[in-house]
Structure 1
Amino acid sequence: MKYFKRILLEIFPSTYLTDRHNWLARNGLAILAYAATLLITFEPVLARDNFANMSKDRFITGLRRLSWYMRRGWPRLNLSIDPVYLFCENMDHRELVAVRRFLMRRKTYQSRETFLGELCFISACDTIVTFDTADYSKAASTFRQDVDQALQNNLSCRHSKSKKSPKRGTGPIVKKGPIVKKEFTRDAAKHALRDTLELLQSNGFSPFILSGTLLGSVREGRILEHDYDIDLGLFADEIDPIRLGDLLHDSPPFRCIAAQDQIVFTRSPSGALELKKLPVIFKLRHLSGIVSDIFLHYRDEGQIWHGSSMFRWVNSEFSLVFCDLDGVSVKAPVNPARHLEENYGNWQVPKYDFHCAIDTPNLQLHSSPLSVALAIWRLQMLSDQAVDAFDDLFEQMKDAGFVVSNSSGGWQIAADLFTLHQNGSGDVPAPTALSSVF
């Protein structure tokens, strides 16, 4: 299988997937993606979605979805290199219904944990896209049933464990050498960093480095050779996100390949549910093929957080100071060691198997169906890790109000989680026994 992946990466390297494509490439691959998706899923609506992705030059989305269909469908080929890929992101209600139907037909061909976890992602996305529609209450009820069923399964697996496993990344360090390493070079990344800084700064923005780019600057004095992209930040309260988006979408030879919002559910003083969209990340492709992740940072009650549609990483408040990154002058947090410790723990020791879903100490939950679904998925991932890591995440879920105790002394998903109203306002369902979908 790994050799097949290498062959595909030779045919469709990440630099090709993020580039602009001509009419023939877009529509030729769109027809192939349509046929393959239909042949695997037997769902015309999913085939049309993938045709649209490819014909509109969204090759990454189209091919990654096709990869997921191949993994879950009858080909059963695992071509993924991302264990936390949100395969149903940006699907509409009809497409989510279709992908759920496809997954239900294939439930006996995968583990119970994977099946239940992916149902949670589907129903979480459906809860978001149906908000303010007549379908919302049903979607939210289905979501609560899905996550409660997955929660009970994860707790059952947790209680069946009798010994602790070593934590991820604390064993011997083995340099794996990422498959796509040859596409990321320090010289190309340095060129991309300099040009991206120039684009932003010349238009009045004040970017700073963070995450892997900051780590390379502090630990090695240069960009990490095993990195994948450039990580930059902007303070959200200092910019106009619409103006930033317009700039990044209209600055050839750069190409904005993605822009994500984080969905946050809040309560009004009357208890009514409200939905907020916060722009959190723009992915900007340089002409060299290097991608810069530009994260918007939000100040919140003495902390600063940034994230993606699913993730949220929280840091202590920080100010900025200029530093030198391999000859490039750029802003960075004034106390980089503290910042890196919050992000990575022991950042002085290289880790080549680091994953942001389970290895990041400052990953926190937020009030969103996607955050709940991600927490459920992380519990599954942590089943092979130290038991205390599982328990720490479960405590976060309790503190966030995602789970509550029940009359039998166990735990369940809160019955009023993401209901339209709270405190007896008319939409809180009574707890009921949940029927299994497996």
Structure 2
Amino acid sequence: MDTRRFDTLHALRGPHGRLSRIAMAGLAGLAVAALTGHADLAREVAGLFRQDRWVTGSHRLNWYLRHSTIGRLAGLQAPLFDPVTGMPPATVDALQGWLGKGCDPRDRLARLNVLAHRIVTAPDATTQATAIAAFEDVAAPLVHDMPVADLEAAAAPAGPAPAFGLSEARAALIALRQIRMPWYVISGTFLGAVREGTFLAHDYDIDIGIHAEDFDDAAFRAQIGTTKDLVLVNTSPHRDLALQPDGLWRDTPRPALYRLLHASGIGVDVFVHHPDGDLRWHGSAKHRWDNHDFALADYTIAGLPVRGPADADRYLTENYGDWRTPVTRFNCSTGTPNVRFPFNPAALVEHLRIALRPHPAREAQIARLVLWQEGHLHHRGAEGTRLAVVPQGAGQTADRDCPAPTDPGR
């Protein structure tokens, strides 16, 4: 498998010496100043490199390049990366000023990232309602002609899965023993252990879980930072807005998904599993999967001892329905009966960005399917399709069995 991404991430994660940090801060600051013409944006990126946060700084720099005039002329595709995450308020203001009021779809999508941030940080209900209305106005031209998702297109076969070699997968699983928290295999990795006794031949990555009461963010990052064969790619905290008595939509961000990369090129998704009554859920910024709470038991996968949910049949039935019958295509957004989609404006922007991309067409159809089924898109007669930030029934649990356009892996 291609290991260049691991080497790049490992180099970016550092640590880096003082002179290297100062030099990169200067170069990155000058580059952002040239691309945007905004000193505040340049200072913020330079500060990230000085603080040895090279991954975030590189993401910001890449985002500015792709949204700049140079990026447009070069035909660079806009990344899914949300530039506003972790951005100081003054920098958010500067970013909004740089983006201006351009009518190009790329400009509108970029402004939606800022407005999503305004929604979740609004100090009062009136300010929040204004931000929601502005979000819907900016999105209106983007969705005006968006049809109902084509299920047949969404169910079309995906491209071939990346190589998932047994030796590489075993090496990655062995490396995970360096995580000194009680983890266990879940989802497709657990399905492989129970049904096949090994990894699924067409899987993409390894999925593991850690109970929230056993998880500590700082300790986890420190443990990964000291390993030579694992690197943190990014994180995806779970946010689900709920209407409060004061009329504000508010959320409590929770640690949810930590994406790792093994030196072999195998990806590892680490999901924090949170208790909720008799449920145990895990997810990301865009998803939540509910299972009945579970104890753990011993299993083996490819000859390696692992832990996993004790009641395998109940867990796998909740995740996949008929899990005993292999399928050739599976998608985590549409093929899992226990999936829910959080009310999260930033995730809404990402769904829109994917839905508007011409390629890969199948991923765009799946994103449109999610937007329609979650009530964010509506036909308004002569007005065409309209987007609602707050869908009808937001915050209520839907009992539904999603259609199943699928990817390789189950």
Length-normalised TM-score, structure 2: 0.71
Root-mean-square deviation (CA, aligned residues, Å) is 4.6
Structure-to-structure mapping, 1:184-263, within 5 angstroms: 187=167, 190-200=170-180, 205-211=181-187, 213-214=189-190, 217=193, 222=198, 230-236=206-212, 239=213, 241=215, 244-251=216-223, 253-254=226-227, 260-263=236-239
Report the Cα distance in structure 2 between the residues aligned to 1:195 and 1:369, rounded to whole angstroms: 36
Give the Å deviation of 1:27. 2.9
- In structure 2, which of residues 348, 363, 368 is the aligned counterpart of residue 390 of structure 1? 368
* Counterpart in the other structure of 1:141: 130
Q: Point out where structure 2 has 5 or more consecutive residues left out of the alignment.
A: 393-410
Cα separation, 1, equivalents of 2:13 and 2:268 = 12
Question: Match for residue 3 of structure 1?
Answer: none
Q: Per the alignment, do residues 175 and 153 of structure 1 end up closer, same or farther by CA in structure 2, a change over 3 Å counting?
A: closer
What is residue 153 of structure 1 aligned with on the other side? Answer: 142
1: CA distance, partners of 2:370 / 2:263 = 43
Change (3 A) 1:78 1:233: farther
Cα separation, 2, equivalents of 1:394 and 1:293: 27
**Structure 2 partner of 1:72:** 67
Other-structure match for 2:292: 317
1:147-191, Cα deviation, whole Å (9 max, x unpaired): 3441453142328x9xx58424623x54375xxx8xx97656534
Distance 1:307 1:96 in 2: 27
Instruction: Map residues 272-283 of structure 1 onto 2, 5 A cutoff.
Output: 273-283=249-259
Q: Distance in 2 between matches of 1:413 and 1:325?
A: 45
Shift of the 313–121 alpha-carbon distance from structure 1 to 2, 3 Å rule, reads: same
In structure 2, distance between residues paired with 1:225 and 1:63: 34
Asked if the contact 1:259/1:282 (under 8 Å) is kept, the reply is yes
Contact 1:209 1:331 in 2 (8 A): yes
Deviation (angstroms), 1:378: 4.8
Partner of 2:48: 53
TM-score normalised by L of structure 1: 0.67
Give me the whole-angstrom Cα distance separating, in 1, the residues matched to 2:151 and 2:391: 35
Q: 2:119 aligns with which of 127, 130, 137?
A: 127
After the TM superposition, which residues 262-301 of structure 1 pair with which residues of structure 2 at under 5 Å, given as runs?
A: 262-269=238-245, 271=247, 273-283=249-259, 292-300=268-276
**Which residue of 82, 99, 105 maps to 1:103?**
99
After superposition, the Cα gap between the structure-2 partners of 1:412 and 1:17, relative to the gap in structure 1 and judged at 3 Å, is closer
Give the counterpart letter for 2:388 in structure 1: I
Change (3 A) 1:42 1:391: same
Q: CA deviation at 1:279?
A: 2.1
> How far 1:139 sits from its partner (Å)?
5.8
CA contact (8 A) 1:15 1:289 kept: no
Q: How far apart are 1:83 and its partner, in Å?
A: 5.4
Q: Is the contact made by 1:124 and 1:370 (CA closer than 8 Å) also made in structure 2? A: yes
Is the CA contact 1:30–1:55 (under 8 Å) kept in the aligned structure 2? yes
> Displacement of 1:39 after TM fit?
1.0
Q: Distance in 2 between matches of 1:18 and 1:189?
A: 23
Q: 1:88 matched to which residue of 2?
A: 84
CA distance in 2, matches of 1:70, 1:225: 38
Residue 149 (structure 2) pairs with residue 175 (structure 1): no
Change (3 A) 1:229 1:39: farther
The answer to whether the 8 A contact 1:54-1:62 is kept is: yes
Paired residue for 1:420?
A: none
SS in 2 for 1:264: coil
| Match for residue 341 of structure 1 among 320, 338, 348 | 320
Q: Residues 23-38 of structure 1 correspond to what in structure 2 (within 5 A)? A: 23-38=18-33
User: Any conservation in 2 of the 1:208–1:234 contact (CA below 8 Å)?
Assistant: yes
* Alpha-carbon distance, 1:387 to partner: 7.0
Extract unaligned runs of 5+ from structure 1.
Answer: 1-5, 418-438
Tell me which amino acid in the other structure corresponds to 2:368: F
Q: Give aligned pairs, total.
A: 378
d(CA) in 2 for partners of 1:393 and 1:360?
Answer: 17
Aligned counterparts of 2:281 and 2:75: Cα–Cα separation in 1: 33
